[in-house]
């Protein structure tokens, strides 16, 4: 699949595209519909209004079909303008995306942002602004040096016992702060030979016990392709766990079908690493997708990138992490934004991340507190960061400060 491939006309009945009056918030009350292939899918009131306005010929069944969502993804300025007024900064940025991370927004995610104001967190995640065109001297296309750690195409082997396997460059929607913006959305596909070489590499390295299948987003691939990939990895005796990195439940929850669950269930233990940025992403549809995954027996974790003006305060983060736990997703990493080109408007100071962790620890359950990490520029890997809880540490004792500032001692024996 090609990220720039506008497979079908995104819009029908253009005469009805003017105006956008829905005032419903993400997560609005939902109606449950029955379908043959995916027994339970939902079309929320918000979605029903959006479909009626912008895709009047689409049926609920089409809306709930993930392939329809991909075919009708919004990839051009022209299409995006039909569903929402854009600012000059957004228009100029989209006009200059050639060779950069493309624009791609699923109709589902568009339904969450079509009536938002500029600066809305979900809108900023998927719609570029001119600041994205500015590259600061500290920013590099591949800040984590993934290419240098890639022994064969698709594999990144940075840590001793695990590998990253980027099986596709395609995502159903592109996040403007994507760490792999240098490679995702490009045409560079793995062919059969590349896959076989990657499987051989894992097979020949008996120290690899953990394979993270990522991309792009692996769940944009067909069930058959996923089955092929997962089967080959699972057949390698020393691979203990497989992980899939995906944002599909957030931007394309329709993808979590019973058939997909049945396909992936064959390859347990299989963990799913999700990626959430803001509490408003957790709609009824998203919750249903995550609950289906949890019911399938997949342990669910979430990574969040710390983003200026989107989630860089304690209350937003707490709300996000609490909502994640409600849908059985454990927040496990909070990332400092990587130094990719055009990310300056998203980056906060590291101090801000520490302040957020400090504002969470003690004030909410440990399950709601992810590990704050910096993925070190130059390929140094993830380095955990903690607020300063250690006041002094001698041979005899450690002096600690708790979340309220109380000083405590513990003997060092
Ligand atoms: S889903 Fe992940 S890989 Fe895809 S654009 Fe977003 S951050 Fe990048």
Specify the 3-state DSSP secondary structure of 383: strand
Tell me the CA–centroid distance for residue 388 and ligand 1, in Å: 32
319 and 354 belong to one structural domain? yes
Residue 81 lies in a domain: yes
The residue ranges of the chain whose pLDDT is under 50 are 1-40
The CATH number of the domain holding residue 309 is: 3.20.20.70
106 and 243 belong to one structural domain? no
Specify the 3-state DSSP secondary structure of 116: coil
353 and 229 belong to one structural domain? yes
127 and 160 belong to one structural domain? no
Does the CB atom of residue 174 touch ligand 1 within 6 A? yes
Q: What is the pTM of this model?
A: 0.89
Residue 284 lies in a domain: yes
Q: What is the distance between the alpha carbons of residues 234 and 236, in angstroms, rounded to a whole number?
A: 5
Tell me the CA–centroid distance for residue 364 and ligand 1, in Å: 29
Residue 148 lies in a domain: no
Q: What is the distance between the alpha carbons of residues 168 and 163, in angstroms, rounded to a whole number?
A: 15
Q: Give the domain extent around 280.
A: 155-169+188-385
Residue 334 lies in a domain: yes
Among protein residues, the one whose CA lies closest to atom 1 of ligand 1? 247
108 and 214 belong to one structural domain? no
Does the CB atom of residue 253 touch ligand 1 within 6 A? no
Give me the catalytic one of 124, 174, 178, 318: 178
Does the CB atom of residue 216 touch ligand 1 within 6 A? yes
375 labelled catalytic: yes
Which pLDDT belongs to residue 16?
Answer: 31
Tell me the CA–centroid distance for residue 236 and ligand 1, in Å: 28
Among protein residues, the one whose CA lies closest to atom 3 of ligand 1? 216
Total domains present in the chain: 2
Angle at 247 between CA 224 and CA 27, to 5 degrees: 120
243 labelled catalytic: no
Tell me the CA–centroid distance for residue 179 and ligand 1, in Å: 8
192 and 126 belong to one structural domain? no
227 and 325 belong to one structural domain? yes
209 and 356 belong to one structural domain? yes
110 and 197 belong to one structural domain? no
Compute φ and ψ for 399, nearest 5 degrees.
-105, 125
Residue 109 region by backbone torsions, left for phi larger than 0, else alpha for psi between -120 and 50, else beta? alpha
Among protein residues, the one whose CA lies closest to atom 6 of ligand 1? 175
Residue 290 lies in a domain: yes
Tell me the CA–centroid distance for residue 202 and ligand 1, in Å: 24
230 and 280 belong to one structural domain? yes
199 and 77 belong to one structural domain? no
Ligand 1 atom nearest 101 alpha carbon: 5
Residue 6 lies in a domain: no
382 labelled catalytic: yes
Ligand 1 atom nearest 185 alpha carbon: 5
113 and 162 belong to one structural domain? no
- Let me know: does 256 contact 285? Beta carbons within 8 Å: no
Give me the catalytic one of 65, 217, 284, 375: 375
């Amino acid at each position: 699949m090609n990220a720039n491939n506008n497979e079908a006309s995104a819009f029908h009945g253009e005469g009805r595209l003017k105006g956008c009056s829905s005032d419903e918030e993400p997560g609005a009350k939902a109606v449950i519909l029955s379908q043959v292939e995916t027994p339970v899918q939902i079309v929320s009131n918000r979605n029903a209004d959006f479909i009626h306005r912008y895709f009047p010929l689409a049926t609920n069944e089409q809306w709930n079909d993930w392939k329809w969502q991909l075919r009708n993804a919004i990839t051009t300025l022209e299409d995006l303008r039909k569903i929402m007024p854009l600012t000059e900064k957004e228009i100029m940025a989209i006009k200059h995306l050639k060779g950069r991370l493309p624009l791609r927004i699923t109709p589902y995610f568009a339904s969450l942002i079509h009536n938002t104001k500029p600066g809305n967190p979900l809108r900023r995640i998927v719609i570029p602004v001119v600041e994205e065109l500015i590259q600061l001297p500290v920013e590099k296309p591949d800040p984590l040096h993934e290419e240098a750690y890639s022994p064969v195409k698709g594999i990144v082997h940075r840590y001793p016992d695990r590998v990253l396997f980027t099986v596709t460059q395609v995502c159903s929607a592109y996040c403007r702060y994507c760490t792999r913006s240098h490679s995702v959305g490009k045409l560079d596909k793995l062919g059969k030979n590349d896959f076989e070489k990657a499987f051989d590499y894992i097979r020949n390295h008996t120290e690899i016990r953990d394979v993270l299948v990522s991309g792009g987003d692996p769940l944009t691939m067909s069930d058959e392709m996923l089955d092929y990939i997962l089967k080959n990895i699972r057949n390698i005796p020393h691979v203990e766990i497989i992980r899939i990195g995906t944002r599909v439940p957030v931007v394309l929850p329709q993808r979590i079908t019973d058939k997909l669950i049945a396909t992936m269930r064959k390859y347990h233990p299989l963990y799913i690493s999700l990626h959430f940025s803001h509490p408003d992403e957790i709609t009824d549809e998203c919750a249903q997708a995550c609950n289906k995954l949890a019911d399938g027996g997949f342990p669910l974790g979430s990574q969040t990138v710390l983003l200026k003006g989107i989630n860089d305060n304690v209350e937003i983060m707490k709300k996000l992490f609490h909502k994640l736990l409600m849908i059985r997703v454990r927040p496990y990493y909070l990332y400092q934004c990587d130094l990719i080109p055009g990310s300056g408007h998203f980056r906060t100071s590291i101090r801000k991340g520490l302040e957020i962790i400090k504002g969470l620890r003690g004030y909410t359950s440990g399950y709601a507190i992810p590990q704050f990490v910096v993925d070190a520029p130059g390929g140094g890997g993830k380095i955990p960061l903690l607020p300063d809880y250690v006041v002094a540490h001698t041979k005899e004792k450690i002096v600690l400060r708790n979340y309220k500032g109380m000083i405590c001692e513990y003997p060092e024996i």
